[in-house]
């Protein structure tokens, strides 16, 4: 991955690090620590990979400030308070440079005459921008995307190939939406009829996605029946996540792949939801809740900063205690059989 040539001193300045070794050595690409070559920049954040610190060919390595080296290194070291965050900062800068190279409107694409397109916007080939759309400065819309009527997109957002944004939805600034995602499809609303059929309930609301949100590939976020489905600032959604109508996902919440949130549920701030977890409708999930993967939440969680697991989801510590009991069931069964035999003998003797 090429990203121009930078010296250790320049990189250290960007990430506020301290240098040990040759400050003038340069790198021109990134590499994983276990396979990096000379001229590449690597990082070490996970202790599981520490062994590679002493064998890697990387020219510069970013490490945590408190890491104690077990032997001398040939590479130049940049110490920072958080190596993972520092490396992410550099990758983000690299990506920004790449994105800044894109601007203008590719052909063929269809842009309605009433659409308002700000400066430095990129619109890729085969994109469709409907009437009364507003697109903010520096936003990139990649090929094959659809932007519906009266959609508003803020500044410096990235809409990857094949994204579909239905009418009236609002996308904030610095939002990233990955390929194949659908924003604003109809919520699942059908009224059962006496004859056994279902009458569709029109979904006339929209979806509001606030600033600094990232949405993974092939995720779906349904429009509200009335009002808005809200994805608040800083939320991060993985691939293949389903958000139903009138859901609200609170600030800085993260949701892993294949999780599903049913209609009208309100998720608090800084919640962490594991993969394949499911949350029933019309519930409240308190701030700071952690929901383990494959859990099924069927009732409101009112206490903040709790961890739940299992189906139906229950307190994680209580779950661990119950698992300890289950583990001992064979021995407990054996003891019960022995006690029953003793009691039976006592009765017989009397």
Q: Given phi > 0 = left and psi -120 to 50 = alpha, else beta, which region is 228?
A: beta
> What is 193-213 written as a DSSP string?
-TTS-EEE-----EEEE-TT-
Q: What is the b/e burial string over 34-70, where b = at least 16 CB atoms within 10 angstroms of the residue's CB?
A: eebeebbbbbbbeeeeeebbeebebbbbbbbeeeeee
What residues are labeled active site? 245
* Bridge-based pairing state of the strands 170-171 and 176-177: unpaired
* Bridge-based pairing state of the strands 220-222 and 198-200: unpaired
Residues 61 and 94 sit within 8 Å (Cβ to Cβ): no
Q: Which two tokens stand for residue 277?
A: 């977890």
Residues 337 and 343 sit within 8 Å (Cβ to Cβ): no
Which is nearest to 216 in space by CA: 246, 171, 249, 182? 182
Q: How far apart are CA 219 and CA 177, in angstroms?
A: 9
Residues 78 and 15 sit within 8 Å (Cβ to Cβ): yes
DSSP conformation class of 332? H
Which is nearest to 223 in space by CA: 189, 260, 186? 186
What is the three-class DSSP state of 232?
A: coil
Q: Which two tokens stand for residue 106?
A: 């590719």
Q: How far apart are CA 318 and CA 89, in angstroms?
A: 39
């Amino acid at each position: 991955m090429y990203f121009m040539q930078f010296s250790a001193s320049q990189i250290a300045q960007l990430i506020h690090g301290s240098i040990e070794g040759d400050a003038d050595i340069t790198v021109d690409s990134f590499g994983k620590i276990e396979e990096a070559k000379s001229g590449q920049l690597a990082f070490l954040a996970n202790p599981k990979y520490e062994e590679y610190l002493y064998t890697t060919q990387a020219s510069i390595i970013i490490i945590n400030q408190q890491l104690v080296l077990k032997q001398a290194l040939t590479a130049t070291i940049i110490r920072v308070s958080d190596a993972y965050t520092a490396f992410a900062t550099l990758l983000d800068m690299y990506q920004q440079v790449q994105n800044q190279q894109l601007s203008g409107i590719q052909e063929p694409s269809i842009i309605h005459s009433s659409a308002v397109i700000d400066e430095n916007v990129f619109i890729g080939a085969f994109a469709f921008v409907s009437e009364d759309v507003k697109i903010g400065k520096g936003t990139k819309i990649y090929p094959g995307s659809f932007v519906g009527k009266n959609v508003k997109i803020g500044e410096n957002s990235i809409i990857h190939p094949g994204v579909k944004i239905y009418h009236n939805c609002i996308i904030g600034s610095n939002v990233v939406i990955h390929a194949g995602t659908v924003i604003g499809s109809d919520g699942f609303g059908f009224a059962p009829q006496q004859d056994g059929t279902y009458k569709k309930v029109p979904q006339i609301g929209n979806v509001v996605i606030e600033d600094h949100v990232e949405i993974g590939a092939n995720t779906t976020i349904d429009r509200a029946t009335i009002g808005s489905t809200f994805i608040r600032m800083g939320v991060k959604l993985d691939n293949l996540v389903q958000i139903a109508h009138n859901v609200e996902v609170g600030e800085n919440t993260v949701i892993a792949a294949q999780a599903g949130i049913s209609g009208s549920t309100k998720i608090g701030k800084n919640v962490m939801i594991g993969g394949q977890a499911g949350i029933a409708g019309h519930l409240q999930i308190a701030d700071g809740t952690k929901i383990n993967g494959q859990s099924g939440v069927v009732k409101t969680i009112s206490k903040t900063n709790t961890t739940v697991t299992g189906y139906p989801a229950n307190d994680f510590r209580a779950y661990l205690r119950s698992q300890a009991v289950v583990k001992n069931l064979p021995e407990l069964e054996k003891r019960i059989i022995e006690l029953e035999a003793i009691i039976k003998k006592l009765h017989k003797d009397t």
